Amino acid sequence: MKFMDIGEVAARSGIRPSALRYYEEAGLISSVSRHGLRRQFPPEVLLQLKLISMGKSAGFSLGEIAGMFGSNGVADLPRAVLHHKADEIDRQIHELTALRDTLRHVADCPAPSHMECPTFRRLVDMAGKRGGKHANAKKPKIGPASR
Amino acid sequence: MKFMDIGEVAARSGIRPSALRYYEEAGLISSVSRHGLRRQFPPEVLLQLKLISMGKSAGFSLGEIAGMFGSNGVADLPRAVLHHKADEIDRQIHELTALRDTLRHVADCPAPSHMECPTFRRLVDMAGKRGGKHANAKKPKIGPASR
DNA sequence: GCTTGACCTCAAGTCGACTTGAAGTGGCAG
DNA sequence: CTGCCACTTCAAGTCGACTTGAGGTCAAGC
């Protein structure tokens, strides 16, 4: 009773079976065996799915996520690459923080036109003094989400 | 010389003209007039585009973003709705923070299997003690996210 | 031993967010 | 006045991430 079949994983993770099959196809997760036809998933898969969901939420594509943590546990990417990814996320956290504060400001500031409110402008400028990740005109990523 | 045509906006914002037209179509930005055939954009559009990019980065769809800040400046959504959006973003910031720290941990922790490392598990659990936004099995958003 | 229901595969469809291509327009430099 | 070139529209194509549907399999309960 160690293993779960896809329905249970779906129930526990909130991710549809079709998506789970898709993830397996994409090499993000892997089932350990089959019971008849049925995939059997180990409990770790739930943790992996959480990681995947966080990665998606960060705007990484499934491909990038597969790169970060391979289907069986966690990838052995060079430290530098991982730190670089972490830095990207860090930049994004700052952007989101600015967005959050901007939204709250908009909700509360009584000024008629926000475009002229200095507080507003300061908040927007907050994000990306030097907009690293999103400064490429060639292949704008995320979309996603997140892209 | 107050207004810019699409090429200049593209150059200043890093967003392709085709995407800008698409955004206008979608009601996210608006040109003030035409010079011949050419759309003329006011300088504020750059600020709006920044806001849009932040919104995308937060995983909102163009539709949602259009809802938050209409094409002409900033929307007058009820305060409560805006604060709710802000809360969503806040939750996401926490997730990203956990992801960032997890990545850094993975980069530095010498343990062979992270799945068993308590620090690792704690980090992953960090995000979403009760995963509000992403707990729906019906219509999983973001993607692009992304996309 | 037969039905049931949860699973399987594989192809095709969908949706959002753009991009690409073809065919046309029009301001401005020479 | 002419040519150029950045713009225009509109339809169709693309890509990622899934979902849907048709047709099939199989372990378990009656």
Straight-line distance from CA A40 to C1' D20, in Å? 24
Higher pLDDT, B41 or A79: B41
Query: What is chain A's mean pLDDT, rounded?
Result: 80
Number of H helices, E strands in chain B: 6, 3
Residue B146, C-beta contacts closer than 8 angstroms, at least 6 positions apart:
A56, A59, A60, A61, A142, A143, A144, A145, A146, A147, B59
pLDDT at res. A77? 73
pLDDT at B76 (0 to 100): 65
**C-alpha span between A10 and B141 (Å, rounded):** 16
The pLDDT of residue B138: 35
For residue A101, the surrounding DSSP H or E stretch is helix A79-108
CA A44 to chain centre: 19
Angstrom distance (rounded) from CA A77 to CA A65: 12
The pLDDT, as a whole number, for residue B67 is: 83
B40 beta carbon to strand C: under 7 Å = no
Q: Does residue B94 carry a pLDDT above 80?
A: yes
**Whole-angstrom Cα distance, residue B93 to residue A108?**
21
Tell me the pLDDT band of A146, cut-offs 50, 70 and 90.
very low
Ramachandran class of B77: left when φ > 0, alpha when ψ lies in -120 to 50, beta otherwise: beta
User: Which nucleotide's C1' atom has the smallest distance to the CA of A63?
Assistant: D16
Percentages helix, strand, coil for chain A (3-state, rounded to 5) are 55, 5, 40
Residue B144 pLDDT > 60: no
- The whole-angstrom separation of Cα B115 and Cα B94 is 21
The nucleotide whose C1' lies nearest the CA of B19 is C18
A&B contacts, CB < 8 Å = 204
State mean pLDDT over B65-72.
78
Average pLDDT over residues A1-26: 94
Give pLDDT, residue B125.
Answer: 72
> What mean pLDDT do residues B55-66 have?
91
A19 or B104, higher pLDDT: A19
Q: Between A46 and B109, whose confidence is greater?
A: A46
Q: If you average pLDDT over residues B3-13, what whole number do you get?
A: 96
- C-alpha to C-alpha distance for B65 and B61, rounded to whole angstroms: 6
* Per-residue pLDDT at B124 exceeds 80: no
User: Of B42 and B113, which is predicted with more confidence?
Assistant: B42
pLDDT value of position B130: 42
3-class DSSP state of A51: helix
Residues 57-86 of chain B: which lie with beta carbon within 7 Å of strand D?
none
Tell me which residue has tokens 């750059």. B46
Is the distance from CB of A54 to CB of B127 less than 8 angstroms?
yes
pLDDT of residue B128: 60
Determine the Cα–Cα distance for residues A72 and A28; give it in Å rounded to an integer.
Answer: 8
pLDDT tens for each residue of A40-66: 999 989 989 998 999 998 889 999 998
Q: How far is A32 from chain B (nearest CA, A)?
A: 16
Q: Which of B11, B143, A32, A27 is nearest to A6 (CA)?
A: A32
Task: Provide the mean pLDDT of chain B.
Answer: 80
Distance from CA of A129 to the nearest CA of B (A): 11
- Taking CB atoms and an 8 Å cutoff, what residues of chain A touch B115? 44, 47, 73-74
E strand or H helix at B38 = strand B38-41
Residue A62 is encoded by which pair of tokens? 């499934």
| Model confidence band, residue B78 (pLDDT cutoffs 50, 70, 90) | confident
Instruction: Assign B131 a pLDDT band (cuts: 50, 70, 90).
Output: very low
